[in-house]
Structures are given as C-alpha cells and as structure tokens.
Amino acid sequence: MIDTDRLDELLTRLRLTAIRDQLDSLLDEAGRAQMTLREALLDDDVAA
C-alpha cells in the first residue's frame, strides 16, 4: 500500500508539485483502471 503522506512529502521535496497536486485523482484513476501508480503516471504523461 502507498503511504500517501510520505509520497506527498517526497514529491514536494523533488519539486514535482504538479504530480503532488493531482495525486488523489491519479490514485483514483489507477484504482478504477486496475493500474499501478507508476502505470497511471505514465499514462497521464503520454496523454499530455
């Protein structure tokens, strides 16, 4: 399971604020599509 607080902290530290701000919707999308967070991030990146 993903510790979202820790992930939020790391994304802030890495200055990946756009991903941090979209994290809840990305996690929801990944869950609905039965994808991992990594797959959802890649899918979102390809769509952009």
Q: Among candidates 33, 14, 39, which has minimal Cα distance to 6?
A: 14
Question: Where do the domains of the chain lie?
Answer: 4-47
Residue 15 has what pLDDT? Answer: 94
Residue 12 has what pLDDT? Answer: 92
Report helix angle 37-47 to 17-32, nearest 10.
Answer: 110
Cα–Cα dist 5/38, whole Å: 17
* Calculated CA dihedral for residues 23, 1, 15, 30, nearest 10 degrees: -30
Cα–Cα dist 5/32, whole Å: 21
pLDDT in tens, 1-48: 568 788 889 989 999 888 888 888 888 888 899 988 788 878 877 776
